[in-house]
Structure 1
């Protein structure tokens, strides 16, 4: 006759082993790095064509006070490219699921989500689906829609601009990367930043990159903004061709509980070009308790 206590213990151990295996699989899939001395989690999410390494100038300022999570979206950086599915990542929801999978498997709560560029919208959509995971959203160079609908909305690009950009990308990916990197980064006096971004673009599988670009530049999340319940900080750069200042003001008007800060930083990647200003503005925002 079997011992029910032993049977229950065996099932419990098998369940724990399954959970551990799932967490390990997601860690490998998204190349997750966890470090820092604090208890509250800060999750840093990279933008299109980038990877977690782009945050290296910013994270040291927070690791004494927070637990830091870095990761690569599937198809980017050192993620497990075999986990890429055209169907899953056919819109932003696949990338949202990457974020929610990480939150679930690591049992995260009270997360400060720091998203660059398209990751800002991924963070917003994640917070709408599962607000219990998040306490703050830090939106760096964010845009809910890249295509103009003039005169009511200035997203920065006409539809033809996006179509031409994607056409160049498909026909000559290396040429596209060489053209796009300095336009995104600005800061012509520091060419090494553009060179790093170009190298990051070029290290990404061109087919996956092209699909991610389509998903990013054709996305329109303006109608989602009023549904965000998590407080947010909008960091708006000067002279950002990807997310113009008008977009930052639009976000602030339509995002409940949002704070807008206009940066002196130029370009689209202040965490690389102006890390200290980025750090200072995030720390200032987090130092003020939010009351609902």
Structure 2
């Protein structure tokens, strides 16, 4: 299958500049980066895409077997990079995409030369000596609710994930994004996301890495940011003056400033 069509790949920006790949999180699509793209296009070639099952990707390419593991999504990333013959790209991943980027960089180190992790979490479940933010009961309830009534779950959870209750339009946008996703495909991505454990994979990261966390985030508490930072030698941790799990939408200026500063230091 034609990978750019399968993943609805979009390329914009400076055709001779360094490459930045922007990867969305669960229930989202590439449109979620629309406030970040303008900060990059003058200096960088910007690649956006939708994971299979999200946005305007080709739904016929969906395979529950493939996408029941983060490895399947990482293979999407690698195949997009191969199709465009990207070299030494900066991979910017939001939420679960941060961990997908770690896996993709391990598979194709010549394609991905640095990482930006926006509100990452290597494991959502609490564990002994580790706070991911959710108990096993929380995750069981979340997945059961999602699978029983996806639209109702989306309407209830999207505002919690987004935060910023004083700006309800942000929660509404995320709700609409969730609701535009095919429920059956969303069930698979949700289970893959919330039951994943990528803590050991962090130890494989050797490329320059920026970690962006928010002051308050219901999905990835600050203990998670500290854990990721400690696990990746030489990584840079920036705490944004922002709340919620989607700072590229709720606090785009601060998010873009941190990303562009990191990109400038790479050059």
Equivalent residue number for residue 109 of structure 1 = 87
In structure 2, the partner of 1:47 is 25
Structure exhibiting the larger radius of gyration computed from Cα positions:
1
Deviation, 1:189, is 1.4
Tell me which residue corresponds to 1:171.
Answer: 148
1:204 & 1:289 partners in 2: Cα distance? 36
Gaps of 5+ in 1: 1-21
Q: 2:111 aligns with which of 111, 124, 133?
A: 133
Aligned partners of 1:79 and 1:147: how far apart in 2? 29
CA deviation string 1:245-265 (max 9, x = no partner): 000000000012311001111
Task: Write the distance in 1 (CA, Å) between the matches of 2:21 and 2:155.
Answer: 30
Select 2:132's aligned residue among 155, 174, 192: 155
How far apart in 2 are the matches of 1:26 and 1:199? 26
User: SS at 2:258's partner residue?
Assistant: helix
Matched ranges for 1:201-240 at <5 A: 201-240=178-217
Residue of structure 1 equivalent to 2:218: 241
CA–CA separation in structure 2 for the residues paired with 1:210 and 1:144? 19
Does the Cα contact within 8 Å between 1:128 and 1:229 map onto a contact in 2? no
Q: What residue in structure 1 maps to residue 241 of structure 2?
A: 264
User: Cα offset for 1:88?
Assistant: 1.1
Per-residue deviation at 1:283?
1.3
TM-score by length of 1: 0.89
Aligned to 2:45: 67
Which secondary structure state, in structure 2, belongs to the residue aligned with residue 75 of structure 1? coil
**CA deviation after TM superposition for structure 1 residue 273, in Å:** 0.5
CA RMSD between the two structures: 1.0
Alignment of 1:78-117 (within 5 A): 78-117=56-95
Provide the secondary structure at the position in 1 that maps to 2:133.
coil
Distance (Å, rounded) in 1 between the aligned partners of 2:151 and 2:174: 12
Q: How far 1:287 moved relative to its partner?
A: 2.0
TM-score between the two structures when normalised by the length of structure 2: 0.97
Matches within 5 A, 1:16-27: 25-27=2-4
The separation in 1 between residues aligned to 2:61 and 2:263, in whole angstroms, is 35
- Is residue 161–residue 218 contact of structure 2 (8 Å, CA) maintained in 1? yes
Distance in 2, Cα, partners of 1:289 & 1:55: 21
- CA shift, 1:172, in A, is 1.1
Contact 2:6 2:57 in 1 (8 A): yes
Question: Residue 115 of structure 1: SS of its match in structure 2?
Answer: strand
2:157 corresponds to 1:180: yes
Q: Deviations over 1:104-154 (max 9, x none)?
A: 11110010110000000000111111111112100001000000014x000
Q: Which residue of 1 aligns with 2:101?
A: 123
- Indicate the SS of the match to 1:237: strand
**1: CA distance between counterparts of 2:154 and 2:202?**
31
